[in-house]
Structure formats: structure tokens, C-alpha cells
Amino acid sequence: PFYPIPFGRRDSLTFANLSTTLANLPSPASNVTVLISVLGPKGLTFTDLVALSGGHTIGRSNCSSFQNRLYNTTTGISMQDSTLDQSFAKNLYLICPTNTTVNTTNLDILTPNVFDNKYYVDLLKEQTLFTSDQSLYTDTRTRDIVKSFALNQSLFFQQFVLSMLKMGQLDV
């Protein structure tokens, strides 16, 4: 979706450092409870969380960001997450054959180079990389929002714009 970016931020003259970024960005291994505990105090709602996560409809990820869904993170032994589609997991094991593989893969397997609502369709099929993404569908507090965005791309686009504008005004 297209939307105008508001002018007037005075904090954009310096870049955020790594520690500041990591302190404000939840881990891809987070569940909805953790996600909202980080984003809720900033004024973001469950709907904002689900809409902003839709940005994962484009981009790529390193195996290390989702290895917890394929391997025991302590032993490195193969151990598939129960909320991960089996055929999708088989493909991920080909891309990430060990828990130390440094390969990357697309976040959205249906339309990796198109900003659309197929990320939400991936969630319904249990074919997403991150625990933080899949938990949006497994958690009853956000499941209906995921379903509505999967069924209605216009609704997703409309809410994405509102949530991006809201997030862009945080901590000005």
C-alpha cells in the first residue's frame, strides 16, 4: 500500500545502534504474550501487532532466526515444532540441514517478492519461519485478526497503513 510519510521527526539525524534496536525488537522466538509485553507499553494493540507482522510478506531470514522450530537449541538435535507443517519443515531441513547452517530463505513462500496478504495465508497453513509469526495464529487473542487479513487483502493494507503511521510516531 502507498501512504504519505508524515514530516517533522527530529530524531532521525542519528541511527539507532545495535543494542537499542535489539532492546526494542522482540525475538523471532517470542510468542504473542512476549510480543505484546514489548509493544503494548508503546501503545500498540493486538491488531497493530498482527498488521505490522504482515511486513514479513517480503524479505529473507537466516536459519539461525528460526532454528528453534527445527532443532533443540541446546543439543542441536532435530526436533520439529508441532505448529510447523511437516512438508514445509522437510523443505526447511534441506535449506538448514544443521542447527549451525548459515543459509537464508524467503519469509513468505507463496509470493516472496510481492507485498500482499499471502503471509497470513502461510500462517493458516502453518508455513511460516518464526515462532513469533506462527503464534499470531495459534494464540486465540490474535487468531481472528490473522484470519480476517488472510481473507481480505484490502483490510490488511488499510490496517497496515494505520499501524505503520502509529508506529512511526512512537518516541518522537
Annotated binding site: 26, 56-57, 108, 111, 116
Binding site for heme b: what residues are annotated?
56
Binding site for Ca(2+): what residues are annotated?
57, 108, 111, 116
Residue closest to 108 by CA, chosen among 96, 95, 97, 121: 121
Question: SS3 string of the chain?
Answer: CCCCCCCCCCCCCCCCCHHHHHHHCCCCCCCHHHHHHHHHHHCCCHHHHHHHHHHHHCCEEEHHHCHHHCECCCCCCECCCCCCCHHHHHHHHHHCCCCCCCCEEECCCCCCCCCCCHHHHHHHCCCCCCHHHHHHHHCCCCHHHHHHHHHCHHHHHHHHHHHHHHHHCCCC
Look up residue 143 and give its amino acid.
R
Binding site for substrate: what residues are annotated?
26
